[in-house]
Structure 1
Amino acid sequence: MIFDAHADIWTDVTNKRQKGFVDIIKNHHLDRFNKGDIGGGIFVIWIDPPYDKDPFNRTLEMLKESSVEILENKDIIKIIREKSDIEKAISEEKLAIIIGLEGLSAIGKDVNLLYPLYMYGVRHASLTWNEENELATGVKGSSDRGLTKYGKEAVKKMEKLGMIVDVSHLNERSFWDLYDVATKPFIASHSNCKALCDVPRNLTNEQLKAIAESGGVVGVNAFKDFVHKEDDKKDIEYLANHIDYMVDIIGINHVGFGFDFFEYLEEESVSTFASGGGFGPKGFEDASKAQNIIEILKSRGYKEEDIEKIKYKNFFRIIRDIL
């Protein structure tokens, strides 16, 4: 099985349920998951534009809609709240899902709102999406601004509660501020190598090594604009190059998948950060194609035990360590 450390599923669930659809995962995602042998992942609440103007109320809407989706589809979903739930999900043949938050703009300065979110079932969060907020600075914010005192407090509370801290989307100043504060492993759920594709969302060698030093994992991102700057090289082979590079720089125990497929999201939201359509690299357009990357790893000489680490074991280790 594959564990995908980043998917915007709850955003899609919310948008479709508000239009009157039901059983969104079962009717709109499960077939692709099954074809790609994706057995779970971190499904995030992402405050999609234009709803980011009121992140608190949008988060409440998404918590409501995802709650209904979860409770009405317990036959296929197992929410991972503690480490033993992983084995339960596998034995029950259900999707092993971590509820995550892609950005904490909704809580403002009120870091204690992490407690009700934890009670709801949230076990993962990044401090920002691309924006500046009361906690930290994303890649589209000022390069001189990092974590605030509230952001540092949030990291400490997340670690105390047993929530996975995610550095994807942070600018470099915020990344290194978080590195200085963190005492437990942290992850970059969906980021690639800046050395191979020099865009703000990708990570420098130093950042990759810092994540590995913490004991964390980097999830390789399938968004084509993070694979290569040249259009004719935005394909699955160049995506696999990012895996090779990470393994060489930080070792096999610190690399996983965070595909970030989003072809199902609404155009109004997607157009704020991507354009041109066909957002996955050639040969790896959506979750149903996930086995294609596994075949490439096999062809490049990866051992089966190492492929298993990348597929799910490395992220499962983090889940067991943190939850």
Structure 2
Amino acid sequence: MTAAPDTPLIVNALGELHNPNAALDAASRLQQAGDELVVDARALDEARASGLTAVTITLGYVMGDQPPFRHTLDEISVWNGILHDHADRLLHVRTAADIHRARREGRIGVIYGFQNAVAVGEDLSRVRTFAELGVRVVQLTYNQANHIGDGSMAPGNRGLTPFGRQLVEELNDQRLMVDLSHSGERTCLEAAALSRQPVSINHTGCRALADLPRNKTDEELRLVASRGGFVGIYFMPFLTTDGHPTADDVVDHLVHAVNVCGEDHVGIGTDGPVTAIDDLDAYRAAIDEQVAERRRAGVGAAGERPGVVPFVVDLRGVDQFRRVITLLAARGWSSTRIAKIMGGNFLSYAARVWPTGSAPG
């Protein structure tokens, strides 16, 4: 099944491609690489039904006690197996052309991305290794500081380390996206100024609308866009200071980002799945426990607290992208601008950064 010709190409710059309900249902739980990850028929059917063309998934080390490099290689292997098992429905995206191919063939493009570059360690040659394995997005930091730079919750806001500057240069050499989501303000500004290739903030909000550290200032947004980069707006609780945003808040952040960056540099990076949570009460209890664990580990973000779920409640399920499109049209946006926001801008940005060619399978 290929996409309808009038459906805009939809690329989620950071999302999830699994069934989150399986982790709440012990009877259907699958264990892969020690983690709960269920890419089942429901997840794939609903991703397709949503109109999704491609999505950047998070794999590899983000936080915790696992050895970062080994854990990351293991998760790449897991996803390679998932793509092999569902080759008729999924396509590993290595180039911008592969996103077009996924749409043409009615498959979902899967982009391998990191949300923490700690797995590089002190060995820059690992960047080439990850590139050869098909990783295409490398986020420099998570919320905390690492040996590359300060994250959004690091109190010092110290920017890039000397090694971090070397890493940005190596990511440029390997034609990988430098993703500045979760970064501290100085880390973001310094990396965007240093990078020879355009950089991205694949999932964020606008701090001018909600003054929280996970959101980006107009200065950061403007600099990234001015150098040919990309900014993805998430469907996350950080869009409002009370932690309970609605779909209209998502649109407000998209409107503000376009006003700051221009309509050619903004898109979506939901930071969530297409498949909706079936039992919200059970999920809220699980999330409250996770929030407490993240706080104890020192990796939580301001705005995470009990009772706050990591998505926009009225933007769940297979209609989330269509609802955003409808709301943007109601704001007077043209179909051309909407198509850019929903996927065209990420595709253009990928073409500016990634190597050319096509995936073999």
Q: TM-score, normalised by structure 2?
A: 0.81
Q: CA deviation at 1:187?
A: 0.7
- Which of 211, 219, 223 is the matching residue for 2:232? 219
Partners of 1:55 and 1:2 in 2: how far apart? 31
State how many pairs are aligned: 320
Partners of 1:85 and 1:215 in 2: how far apart? 21
Partners of 1:48 and 1:167 in 2: how far apart? 14
1:228 aligns with 2:233: no
Q: CA deviation at 1:290?
A: 2.2
Q: CA deviation at 1:52?
A: 4.7
The answer to which of 125-134 and 9-18 deviates more is 9-18
Equivalent residue number for residue 43 of structure 1? 57
* Runs (4+) off by over 6 Å: 10-15, 19-23, 263-266
Equivalent residue number for residue 142 of structure 1? 155
Equivalent residue number for residue 131 of structure 1? 144
- Unpaired runs of at least 5, structure 2: 1-8, 24-28, 278-282, 295-299, 355-361
Partners of 2:227 and 2:308 in 1: how far apart? 36
Query: Which structure has more helix as a fraction of its residues?
Result: 1
Alignment of 1:98-109 (within 5 A): 98-109=111-122
Q: CA deviation at 1:121?
A: 0.4
Equivalent residue number for residue 291 of structure 1? 322
Partners of 1:21 and 1:281 in 2: how far apart? 25
Alignment of 1:189-268 (within 5 A): 189-224=202-237, 226-230=238-242, 234-261=245-272, 267=287
Partners of 1:206 and 1:244 in 2: how far apart? 16
Q: 1:21 to 1:145 in 2, by over 3 A?
A: closer
Q: CA deviation at 1:25?
A: 2.9
Q: CA deviation at 1:28?
A: 4.7
Q: String of CA shifts for 1:139-177, please: whole Å, max 9, x gaps.
A: 122324221122111111111111111111110121122
- Unpaired runs of at least 5, structure 1: none
Q: 1:130 to 1:230 in 2, by over 3 A?
A: closer
Partners of 1:3 and 1:27 in 2: how far apart? 20
The answer to which of 190-199 and 274-283 deviates more is 274-283
CA RMSD of aligned residues (A): 2.8
State the one-letter code of the partner of 1:78.
L
Equivalent residue number for residue 5 of structure 1? 13
State the one-letter code of the partner of 2:239.
V
Partners of 1:172 and 1:25 in 2: how far apart? 35
Q: 1:9 to 1:111 in 2, by over 3 A?
A: farther
Q: TM-score, normalised by structure 1?
A: 0.90
Contact 1:10 1:43 in 2 (8 A): no
Q: State the identity as a percent.
A: 25
The answer to which of 25-34 and 175-184 deviates more is 25-34
Contact 2:157 2:184 in 1 (8 A): no
- Which of 98, 106, 121 is the matching residue for 1:85? 98
